Amino acid sequence: MSAQAFGKVAVLMGGASAEREISLLSGRGVLQALRSQGVDAHAFDPAERDLWTLKAEGFGRCFIALHGRFGEDGTIQGALELMGIPYTGSGVMASSMAMDKVMTKRLWSAEGLPTPRSCVLGPDQRSAADLERVLASLGLPLIVKPPHEGSSIGITKVTQAAQLAPALALAAQYEPEILCEECIVGEEVTCPVIGSGALATALPVVRIQAPDGAYDYQNKYFTDAVSYLCPSGLPAAEEAQIARIVLASYRSLGCRGWGRADLMIRESDRKPFLLEMNTSPGMTGHSLVPMSARAQGISYEDLCLRLLGLAGLDTHATYRSAP
């Protein structure tokens, strides 16, 4: 598909989530890449402009470089469906499901896919008895996280019982419901996917080596302290197993376009465990999907064009937009 055939393209970036800063970095990279290839691409920040102007200003396609709530959770996708403007990434339902780590884990468990044991605490479950129940169920170490945030925001690795209450308090700053998860000790890896359904394919696995295992917000985006290995250096059979699990997890959620699954490989038996599915992965200078694509001979610019070419709608229905 030629660059001109894409028409006027909006790169959605920024937004109102806790990941706004990272989204702006992703969006600027995508915008520059698309323009370098002759695409009529324009920056569009939904936090600063009325989304309905996309239709009024003649945008024919959107590249979603938004991360987190109001961009990766099905809300923007629903609005674009109503306007009939094709967009990159998963549709409304898949985006909403993947954004909710609790629902994602329930679906994966029902499908027989490996994911760490977990329990959920509601806003009224902060008593000493509730904390004891979590510790008895999951043991230590464990992970505490808000179920609808990304980029390691609000996450704590709890290694001592006394750390659990402060970890819950931190996660509760982002949302009332909190996910407590068994901590899988081992290697962290990620595996991107491009395409839809039976045509979806896994890209090379990236192995992540963070200082003291601290793959947090700061180390992810603003330091060079983390080592990324791609090719991963894993045994071929192990990487193939991860790719199979990731493709199954992607398809089970109904994802399309592209995505990236994060996993842990348990040190004791080399068993991989799914942590989450990202339906609008980062596209910054530190991001993992471009890194994996490069290992397969796909440049950043070609990756952006390919993803834009996969833009679509859940349905073919269009609705009259608001005035």
Do residues 176 and 202 share a domain? no
Instruction: Please tell me whether residues 201 and 105 are part of one structural domain.
Output: yes
Cβ–Cβ under 8 Å, residues 25 and 5: no
Q: Is residue 320 part of a domain?
A: no
- Give me the sheet containing 178-182, strands edge to edge: 118-121, 178-182, 142-145, 156-158
Radius of gyration of the chain (CA): 20
On the CB side of 270, CA atoms within 13 Å amount to 7
Judge if 85 and 101 occupy the same domain: no
pLDDT in tens, 146-158: 998 765 788 999 9
Of 161, 182, 203, the residue at which a domain comes to its end is 182
Rounded to the nearest integer, the mean pLDDT of the chain is 91
Query: Per-residue pLDDT averaged across 253-274, rounded?
Result: 97
Q: Would you name the residues annotated as active-site residues?
A: 19, 151, 221, 260, 262, 276, 278, 282
Q: How far apart are the first and last CA of the chain?
A: 32
Q: Is pLDDT of 295 > 70?
A: yes
Instruction: Please check whether residue 67 lies inside any domain of the structure.
Output: yes
Q: What is the structure's pLDDT at 25?
A: 95
* pLDDT, tens digit, 9 for 90 and up, residues 203-240: 999 999 876 655 455 555 455 678 899 999 999 999 99
CATH number for the domain spanning 124: value is 3.30.1490.20
- The residues pairing with 276 across neighbouring beta strands, listed in sequence order, are 262
Q: Is residue 321 part of a domain?
A: no
Query: What's the pLDDT tens digit per position in 169-196?
Result: 999 999 899 999 999 999 999 999 999 9
102 and 240 inside one domain = yes
What is the reported pLDDT for 317? Answer: 43
Q: State the pLDDT at residue 23.
A: 94
Shared domain for 235 and 107, answered yes or no, is yes
Q: Are residues 220 and 103 in the same domain?
A: yes
CATH number of 68's domain: 3.40.50.20
Q: How does residue 286 score in pLDDT terms, banded at 50, 70 and 90? A: confident
Is the pLDDT at 94 greater than 80? The verdict is: yes
DSSP state letter for 284: S
Q: Does pLDDT of 271 surpass 60?
A: yes
CATH number at residue 274: 3.30.470.20
Number of domains in the chain: 3
CA–CA dist 114, 94 (Å, integer):
19
Residue 281, both tokens? 């992965």
Which pLDDT score, from 0 to 100, does residue 214 have? 55
* Helix/strand/coil for 8: strand
Q: Name the more confident of 4 and 110.
A: 110
Looking at the domain assignment, is residue 295 inside a domain?
yes
Q: Is 246 part of any domain?
A: yes
**Do residues 235 and 136 share a domain?**
no
Please give the pLDDT value at position 151.
Answer: 56
Answer yes or no: do 76 and 220 share one domain: no
Listing DSSP states for 213-272 in one string gives: G---HHHHHS-S--EEESS----HHHHHHHHHHHHHHHHHHT--SEEEEEEEEETTT--E
Average pLDDT over residues 21-47: 97
Inside any domain, residue 317: no
Q: Verify that 33 and 109 share a domain, yes or no.
A: no
pLDDT confidence of residue 165: 94
Strand residues in the chain grouped as ranges (E): 8-12, 40-44, 61-64, 118-121, 142-145, 156-158, 178-182, 186-194, 201-202, 206-209, 227-229, 258-266, 272-278
103 and 236 both lie in a single domain: yes
Do 162 and 105 share a structural domain? no
The span from the CA of 285 to the CA of 255, in Å, is 25
Q: Is the pLDDT higher at 227 or at 202?
A: 202
Q: What pLDDT does 285 receive?
A: 79
Q: Range of 260's domain?
A: 97-114+185-307
Of 154, 182, 210, which marks where a domain is finished?
A: 182
State yes or no: pLDDT of 318 exceeds 90.
Answer: no
**Is the pLDDT assigned to residue 143 strictly greater than 60?**
yes
Which residues have a Cβ under 8 Å from the Cβ of 95 and sit 6 or more positions away?
72, 73, 74, 77, 89, 279, 280
Q: Which residue carries 């967009």 as its tokens?
A: 87
Residues 127 and 241 in one domain: no
Which residues on adjacent β-strands are paired with residue 228?
A: 208
Query: Measuring CA to CA, which residue among 74, 51, 73 is closest to residue 148?
Result: 73
Whether residue 315 lies inside any domain: the answer is no
